[in-house]
């Protein structure tokens, strides 16, 4: 039974009314203003500078690739949301984000008290949202640059999201060792939890899994050849083994050519 062609949602039509360059420029202006406001008098300037190293890398990468590899407006929006949350965490050194005070002011109850938390969990939220928000832009890069399809278009973004989460935990550990003292501990953000790095990576992985499940469900609903693409992605493309066999194949033509030249 053929699926009916779904109507294009109104918000898709609206967002497509902006060119990719114009949309990115609008987000850059909004984020730049937001970043400048939160750059004023952060809780710990040294920690703030360490946290913003990530922002600098992302900004340079997006600016450099915006002309020859513009991302979708959805990917730009997801990256924008993550950077906004990260910038807020950097301003308060993550562990001191006063969400309890905000909840008390607007709802009359402290979230930490309501949930029975003994630590500030804003960092855990951002680690989860790293996976949830960044997995799709990574998927877009894999599909457009590496040309992966089917299963690999979901697994590889998940794999890279998990790997970068692990790398970030290693960078935090190195920074804590190099800077030491209050700055190192504040940047590490463990807050006394010996399993902090493991939980952060698990939450990033969970967010990425959820993002890929949602993406897969949407594609299953809308992509007519979804099942065929998945089946094709498991088919063997090159039947000859690699490793020592591939080395032999690469060396043999050269050796033969050398013998013919004698």
Q: Is the distance from CB of 53 to CB of 92 less than 8 angstroms?
A: no
Tokens representing 13 are 């039509």
Q: How far apart are the first and last CA of the chain?
A: 67
Residue 3 within a domain: no
Least-confidence region, from 142-151, 167-176, 179-188, 231-240: 179-188
Residues ≥6 apart with Cβ < 8 Å to 231: 150
pLDDT of residue 4: 56
Write out the two tokens for 182: 């209050």
Q: What is the mean pLDDT of residues 243-256?
A: 78
CB burial string 141-178: b at 16+ within 10 A, e below: bbeeeeebebebbbebbbebbbebbeebbeebeebbee
pLDDT the model gives residue 3: 54
Q: Is the pLDDT of residue 91 over 90?
A: yes
Alpha-carbon Rg of the chain, whole angstroms? 23
Residue 261 falls within a domain, yes or no?
no
Separation CA 158–CA 164 (nearest Å): 10
Quick: pLDDT tens for 207-227: 999 999 999 999 999 999 999
Q: How many CB atoms lie within 10 A of CB 35?
A: 17
Q: How confident is the model at residue 154 (pLDDT cuts 50, 70, 90)?
A: very high
Q: Is residue 8 part of a domain?
A: no
Whether residue 10 is contained in a domain is answered as no
Q: Tell me if 262 is assigned to some domain.
A: no
User: Is residue 202 situated within a structural domain?
Assistant: yes
Beta-sheet strands, E only, within 132-251: none
pLDDT band at 197 (very low <50, low <70, confident <90, very high): confident
209 vs 66, higher pLDDT? 209
Please give the residue range of the domain that contains residue 43: 16-256
Is residue 94 in a domain?
Answer: yes
What average pLDDT does this structure show over 83-108?
Answer: 90
Phi, psi for 224 (deg, rounded to 5): -65, -35
Number of domains in the chain: 1
Q: Is 204 in contact with 158 (CB distance < 8 Å)? A: no
pLDDT above 60 for 261 = no
Exposure string of 76-85, with b = 16+ CB inside 10 Å and e = fewer, is bbbbbbbbbb
Nearest to 99 by CA among 86, 81, 112, 82: 112
The band of 108, judged by pLDDT with boundaries at 50, 70 and 90, is confident
Q: Model pTM?
A: 0.86
Task: Give tens-digit pLDDT for 34-54.
Answer: 999 999 999 989 889 888 988
| Percent with pLDDT over 70 in the chain | 89
Which pLDDT band holds residue 120 (cuts at 50, 70, 90)? Answer: confident
Phi, psi of 182 (to 5 degrees): -65, -40
């Amino acid at each position: 039974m053929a699926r009916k062609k779904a109507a294009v949602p109104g918000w898709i039509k609206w967002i497509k009314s902006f060119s990719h360059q114009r949309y990115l420029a609008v987000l850059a202006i909004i984020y730049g203003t937001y970043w400048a406001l939160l750059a004023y008098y952060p809780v710990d300037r040294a920690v703030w500078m360490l946290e913003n190293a990530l922002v600098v890398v992302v900004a340079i990468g997006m600016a450099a690739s915006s002309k020859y590899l513009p991302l979708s407006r959805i990917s730009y929006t997801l990256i924008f949301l993550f950077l906004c949350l990260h910038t807020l965490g950097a301003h308060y050194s993550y562990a001191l984000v006063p969400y309890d005070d905000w909840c008390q002011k607007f709802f009359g109850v402290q979230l930490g008290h309501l949930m029975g938390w003994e630590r500030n969990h804003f960092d855990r939220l951002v680690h989860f949202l790293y996976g949830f928000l960044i997995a799709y832009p990574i998927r877009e890069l894999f599909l457009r640059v590496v040309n992966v399809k089917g299963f690999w278009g979901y697994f590889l973004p998940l794999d890279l999201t998990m790997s970068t989460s692990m790398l970030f935990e290693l960078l935090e550990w190195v920074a804590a060792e190099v800077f030491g003292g209050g700055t190192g501990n504040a940047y590490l953000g463990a807050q006394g939890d010996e399993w902090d790095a493991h939980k952060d990576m698990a939450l990033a992985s969970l967010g990425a899994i959820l993002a890929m499940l949602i993406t897969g469900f949407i594609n299953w609903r809308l992509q007519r050849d979804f099942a065929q693409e998945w089946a094709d992605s498991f088919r063997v493309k090159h039947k000859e083994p690699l490793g020592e066999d591939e080395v032999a194949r690469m060396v043999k033509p050269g050796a033969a050519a050398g013998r013919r030249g004698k």
